[in-house]
Amino acid sequence: MDEIMRRRVYGADHDDPDPGPQPGRAYRELVGGPLDGLLLDVTGWSEAALADGAALITEIGMHGPGGRSEYGPRADDSLKWDWRGDTP
């Protein structure tokens, strides 16, 4: 748990003094691709949305600013979301 508490949350500002996870929130670890190692706050997401994964806006993916990186739950560990590729 200590390792997760030191991680940065996707969408946190780079100059945020506390960019890490907050108590009482639910997170998924992003694995691979341009957002590798970040945590995604999924608090309040439906089971269907959690099963689908997400296309997350990123400037550092294959398509540059405005592009998205797709992540989805790992079959044997739904707390980790693997990179599926980038889309424009």
Q: What domain range is 33 assigned to?
A: 2-87
Asked if 57 and 63 count as a contact pair (C-beta separation under 8 A), the reply is no
The pair of three-digit structure tokens given for residue 53, joined into one six-digit string: 């994964």
Reported as a single tens digit per residue, the pLDDT across 9-28 is 998 887 888 889 999 999 99
The SS3 of residue 28 is strand
- What's the structural domain count of the chain? 1
C-beta neighbour count of 38 within 10 angstroms: 21
Is residue 37's pLDDT more than 50?
yes
Q: How far apart are CA 62 and CA 42, in angstroms?
A: 24
pTM of the complete model:
0.86
Of the pLDDT bands very low, low, confident and very high (cuts 50, 70, 90), residue 3 is low
Give me the pLDDT at residue 1, please.
46
Is residue 62's pLDDT more than 90?
no
The SS3 of residue 50 is helix
pLDDT mean over 49-57: 95
The pair of three-digit structure tokens given for residue 8, joined into one six-digit string: 């940065």
pLDDT mean over 30-44: 96
Q: What is the DSSP string of 34-45?
A: TTTT-EEE-TT-
